[in-house]
Amino acid sequence: MAIRAAKVGLWEWDLRTNAVKFSDEWKRQLGYGPDEIPSEFSSWEARVHPDDLPRMKKRLADYFAKPWPDYEAEFRMQHKDGSWRWILAQADLFNDHTGKPTHMVGSHIDITEIKQGDAERLAHLRFFEAMDQVNRAIQRAESLEQMMSDVLESLLAIFECDRAWLVYPCDPAAPTWRVPMERTRPEYPGGFAAGIDFPMEEQIAEVMGYLRQTNGPVKFRPGIDRPMLPVAEEYQIRSIMAMALCPKLDKPYMFGLHQCSYAREWTAEEENLFRTIGRRLTDSLTSLIADRNLRESQRAYASLVNNIDGIVWELDVPTFHFTFVSQQAERILGYPVEQWLNEADFWQNHLHPGDRDWALHYCLRATEERRDHDFYYRMIAADGRVVWLHDLVKVISENDRPVKLRGIMVDITKAKSGEEALKLFRTLIDRATDTIEVVDPVTGRFLDVNERACQVHGYSREEYLRLRVPDLEVGIDFETPGRWVEHVDHIRQAGSKALVGAHRRKDGSIFPVEVNANYITLDRDYVISVVRDVTERKFAEEALRESEQRFRQVAESIEEVFWLVDVTKGRTIYISPAYEKIWGRSCKGLYESPLSWMATIHPDDRSRATEARRKLANSGEYDMEYRIERPDGAVRWIHDRAFPIKDAQGRIYRMVGVAEDITARRQLEDEVRQSQKMEAVGRLAGGIAHDFNNLLSAIQMQSALLLETAPDDGVTREGIRDIMTAADRATHLTRQLLTFSRRNVKQARDLDLTEVVGAMNKLLLRMLGEDIVLESRFASPLPMVHADPGMVEQVLMNLAINARDAMPTGGRLIVTLDLANVDAEAAAAKPGISAGRFVCLSVSDTGCGIAAADLSRIFEPFFTTKEIGRGTGLGLAIVFGIVEQHHGWIDVESALGLGTTFRVFLPACAAVPARKPLARPITAIPGGSETILLVEDEPMVRNLTRSVLERLGYHVISAESGAVALEKWENPGIQVDLLLTDLVMPGGISGRELADALIARQPSLKVIYCSGYSADAVDHHLPLGRGRRFLPKPCSATVLAANVRGCLDEAGCGK
């Protein structure tokens, strides 16, 4: 009885006769009756699983050869119904008096259920080990390609399959598909090895469509509902399991496994594991694609900064350490960017010792006063060079305290070198050991001499310049007719001539000299003579050659314009070749007409330049910036600096200067200022729109309540509806403000452009004025487009404003809507467009037109052909961005004097729009009796919202801040069903923080977040899902009621 109750089967095996006695319980465990199994060893042997029988026979043989105390074995036996049962066998061996085994007596216990439990636990263990392996591959990946490569490699091992692959795109509408990533066993190469795009065949497209609809694994093999794909035979595929991956920021992928060695039957356990891995990959793809897009944007920004010809930098004021330095720093000064960022006091350490104290003091004082500043100083480069920098600094303040400095350091070493070279040249001339004379070849009068000439001959400079050549040079006089002319002709014809002779000093003494006379033609002719003692002739000649060569190298190789003028005669003595490149005029023209320089200056700057030249005679120097007009019509900005050259008596007789083309720098400064202005306007617009949304919430909800109780007469109810329509229109305007301030995202829906564009006619007429005729030409019927209505209105408004400005004396503005069909041939002929049906919005004017040279730049930010103050250069850039965001494109045609046409193409939806009803009934607003905690800092909005909810039957507890809401929550007896809270509130606790705190106390709490900004603009990570909603302001009573009821009725909370 005890054995039967314990369900233990007994058996006795006579080893001498091979007979086996089986108990009734033994037979019952295998589904047999007492008389159905013969008492033979073969009865046991025939029912042992074929995979277990060899192992069991060997185990018995080993036991008989060397018995151990207790025999025990686990194996499978076949039940009468055909199933397999796990058996635990235990036995003892009995011997005769000689020690020879005679009997074996044992028991059978059915352990099938225990084994099944072990199998399930093993399956769970394999599942978690596989997911851990996949997660590790995902987490260590730094790119999408590396992640997919590592994951596919892991899947080969996890599923013991022959090929793991990824197909892109999983899009039946795509013309081709490819295998961007694949891991296979060597004997089964796949599509990735081919490295080609495959045409989208009908059967492949059908499979992709089926995978996207199924949203889970699909199995393919012979003999099931989904037969093998057409490519199966080519790639030796016997069995497939695949599913679609749909990341949020890209087209879907197709992800799958191949078994090539046999027709594999995928188990439910493998299917579940594959589904889980696929979902994990989808999330990871979304994250990596977003990260890749961010890196590309950062690379574009870094490229822009690093291409600026200067060191762009940012510095933290409290620590005075650099937080950002562009790559140009290494090119200009030789120090790696890491050293700028990591070395303490880097700037101070590498300032030139002569500039360190004053430059640091000046910068600190200007920063303390929150004053933007620019200054010039020297730094020591890594190779020891001295580099002159012009540093333009912007002070960034928060809470009236400077927190950051941002600026650009411009290398002006070349300009400084030009100044130094000029001073060096004059110094060399004056300190020359030879007498140097500049002679008028016609009169023989001295025009200029160096200090050595005065010292050697005993005359002052003024006295010297009153003399003529015969007064000093013995043997030359004007008394003999033609003597001087012949002498000059010889020099002119030879260019330069060495003469041996003698000079007479002021005291009458004579000394032997060798004169090297040079005939020079600049704006006029000169004879330049170098006079020296015969004994030092060779030294003097070498010094002159070196001096001349140095002057020409400095003057003619620098990019800046080096100039030299004779103040006393108003003549241009020298102008460097860079003048022709920058001014676009010949140097010869300036020599012939020195006053032509003033004619090149922009009319608006000419009076200022004239005044600076007038003061030049007194101060002897100036430093100014002005514009010039080139012959080709281009306008360039010039930084011109002038310095005096004085004679021995301190009188200015010559001026030397350097003029630098700073057009690029000025354009950059203008763009930076414009960007800062637009940023400030954007912040203001965003703030105004947010506050205005609160007012619109009150108007919309109050209008809805008034419409419920209004008398049933047409005039009153129609007036209330007009208020509601106007509030809706104002809502669109605030969305435009939020879009401009980048605090709103595209809110697209299916639109009838005929209604959207037609509704703007009144606004366009007021904006255009009486002199411009507005014509609207709409084709009918037109398909819908999926677009943001506010952005579409902004596109039309920006184009209309440009058209109006192009017709100052009046004209016609024609707005057209039509259907456009673009075939594949037309799409292929023009980059950036695609084939299909499009709705074309055309805006044409009869204005002045756009110059052909400007057409390629009209969509660039900050580019404008309007007068200063009339345009920002952002209107068409915004239009271009909106159209691209809607997957469309824009064309433009223009001719000077004839007008301009802009055509905006937006993808058409399949359906033709149905006409909307004229009125918007708000009857049957859903209500309830639950308790709602309303948190809103705006009293008018809070009171109206409470009134609407209480009319609908809800019990409402209101609070003006998060702190007050927390206090009311703690009141005993209050059970809140839903929290309705504004996201942006004063008092230190935001709506998100309040909701998090209350959900922690009551996880089942339903939450609706409200804001005048979009959800993304306020908080990119709101925990939205079941029982968690976002409601944008303003909203009507109907929308409010529907969202409250819908949120309360949703089962569960979270995602």
Going by C-beta distance under 8 Å and a sequence separation of 6 or more, which residues neighbour residue 979?
A: 932, 933, 935, 994, 995, 998, 1005, 1006, 1007, 1008
Lowest mean pLDDT: which of 66-80, 672-686, 810-824?
672-686
Name the helix (H) or strand (E) containing 90.
strand 84-95
Report DSSP state, residue 810.
-
Cα 737-742-748 angle, rounded to 5 deg:
80
- Superfamily of domain 141-297, CATH level 4: GAF domain (3.30.450.40)
Band of pLDDT at residue 816, cut at 50, 70 and 90: very high
Name the helix (H) or strand (E) containing 625.
strand 622-629
For the stretch 905-929, what's the b/e string if a residue is b when 16 or more beta carbons lie within 10 angstroms of its beta carbon? bbbbbeeebeeeeeeeebeebebbe
pLDDT given at position 768:
85
Judged against a pLDDT cut of 80, whether residue 876 lies above it is answered with yes
Q: Strand pairing partners for 393?
A: 373, 407
Looking at residues 950-956, what average pLDDT do you find?
93
CA dihedral 733, 734, 739, 742 (to 10 degrees): 160
Looking at residues 805-810, what average pLDDT do you find?
89
Q: Helices then strands (H, E): number in the chain?
A: 36, 38
Band of pLDDT at residue 188, cut at 50, 70 and 90: confident
Name the residue among 916, 985, 927 with its Cα closest to residue 953.
927
- Which amino acid, one-letter code, is at 510? I
pLDDT given at position 1:
43
Q: Comparing 827 with 265, which gets the higher pLDDT?
A: 265
Band of pLDDT at residue 75, cut at 50, 70 and 90: very high
Report DSSP state, residue 507.
T
Length of the chain: 1055
Judged against a pLDDT cut of 80, whether residue 548 lies above it is answered with no
pLDDT given at position 1045:
93
Report DSSP state, residue 536.
G
Query: Mind listing the pLDDT tens digit for each residue in 35-63?
Result: 899 988 888 989 999 988 998 888 888 88
Q: Which two tokens stand for residue 656?
A: 């030397």
Looking at residues 653-668, what average pLDDT do you find?
86
What are the backbone dihedrals phi and psi of residue 199, each rounded to the nearest 5 degrees, phi first? -65, 145
**CA 40 to CA 50: how far, in whole Å?**
18
Judged against a pLDDT cut of 60, whether residue 590 lies above it is answered with yes
Judged against a pLDDT cut of 80, whether residue 339 lies above it is answered with yes
pLDDT given at position 762:
81
Judged against a pLDDT cut of 80, whether residue 489 lies above it is answered with yes
Lowest mean pLDDT: which of 68-72, 301-305, 330-334, 1045-1049?
301-305
Residue 278: Cβ within 10 Å count:
20
Can you name the CATH fold of 412-554?
Beta-Lactamase (3.30.450)
**CA 592 to CA 818: how far, in whole Å?**
63
Q: Comparing 11 with 193, which gets the higher pLDDT?
A: 11
Q: State what percent of residues in the chain have pLDDT above 70.
A: 86
Band of pLDDT at residue 143, cut at 50, 70 and 90: confident
Give the range with max mean pLDDT: 494-498, 855-859, 930-934: 930-934
pLDDT given at position 365:
94
| CATH of region 931-1049 | 3.40.50.2300
- Superfamily of domain 2-110, CATH level 4: PAS domain (3.30.450.20)
Looking at residues 64-76, what average pLDDT do you find?
82
Judged against a pLDDT cut of 70, whether residue 218 lies above it is answered with yes
Judged against a pLDDT cut of 90, whether residue 812 lies above it is answered with yes
pLDDT given at position 1002:
92
pLDDT given at position 923:
47
Query: What residue spans define the domains of the chain?
Result: 2-110, 141-297, 308-411, 412-554, 753-907, 931-1049
From residue 981, alpha-carbon distances to 668, 1022, 1036, 1039 in Å are: 45, 13, 16, 16
- CATH class of this structure's domain 308-411: alpha beta
Contact 465, 448 (CB under 8 A): yes
Q: Which two tokens stand for residue 976?
A: 């809140």
Going by C-beta distance under 8 Å and a sequence separation of 6 or more, which residues neighbour residue 517?
A: 491, 496, 497, 498, 499, 527, 528, 529
**CA 1027 to CA 276: how far, in whole Å?**
25
Question: Does the predicted TM-score (pTM) go above 0.85?
Answer: no
Looking at residues 471-490, what average pLDDT do you find?
80
Give the range with max mean pLDDT: 343-347, 469-473, 646-650: 343-347
Looking at residues 950-966, what average pLDDT do you find?
92
> In CATH, which of 3.40.50.2300, 3.40.50.720, 3.30.565.10, 1.10.1060.10 is domain 753-907?
3.30.565.10
Cα 737-742-744 angle, rounded to 5 deg:
70
Are domains 412-554 and 931-1049 of this chain identical in fold? no
**CA 893 to CA 898: how far, in whole Å?**
10
Band of pLDDT at residue 610, cut at 50, 70 and 90: confident
Judged against a pLDDT cut of 50, whether residue 745 lies above it is answered with no
**CA 901 to CA 818: how far, in whole Å?**
14
pLDDT given at position 32:
92
pLDDT given at position 1001:
92
**CA 73 to CA 96: how far, in whole Å?**
25
**CA 982 to CA 1011: how far, in whole Å?**
6
Judged against a pLDDT cut of 70, whether residue 362 lies above it is answered with yes
Q: Which two tokens stand for residue 37?
A: 């199994």
Judged against a pLDDT cut of 50, whether residue 497 lies above it is answered with yes
Contact 1046, 773 (CB under 8 A): no
Looking up tokens 């954007």, which residue turns up? 682
What are the backbone dihedrals phi and psi of residue 226, each rounded to the nearest 5 degrees, phi first? -105, 100
Looking at residues 314-321, what average pLDDT do you find?
92
In 189-320, where does DSSP find H-type helix? Answer: 191-194, 202-214, 268-306
In 140-267, where does DSSP find H-type helix? Answer: 144-159, 191-194, 202-214
Looking at residues 373-392, what average pLDDT do you find?
93
**CA 603 to CA 622: how far, in whole Å?**
20
Q: What is the CA radius of gyration of the chain?
A: 47
Q: Comparing 845 with 479, which gets the higher pLDDT?
A: 845
Lowest mean pLDDT: which of 243-257, 686-700, 888-902?
686-700
Lowest mean pLDDT: which of 24-38, 906-920, 970-984?
906-920
Contact 392, 412 (CB under 8 A): no
Band of pLDDT at residue 171, cut at 50, 70 and 90: very high
Query: Mind listing the pLDDT tens digit for each residue in 267-276?
Result: 888 889 899 8
Name the residue among 228, 208, 210, 212 with its Cα closest to residue 220.
228
Judged against a pLDDT cut of 60, whether residue 846 lies above it is answered with yes
3-state SS class at 144: helix
DSSP letters along 1007-1041, please? EEEEESS-HHHH-TT---BBTEEEEESS--HHHHH
Band of pLDDT at residue 907, cut at 50, 70 and 90: very high
pLDDT given at position 916:
47
Average pLDDT, the chain: 83
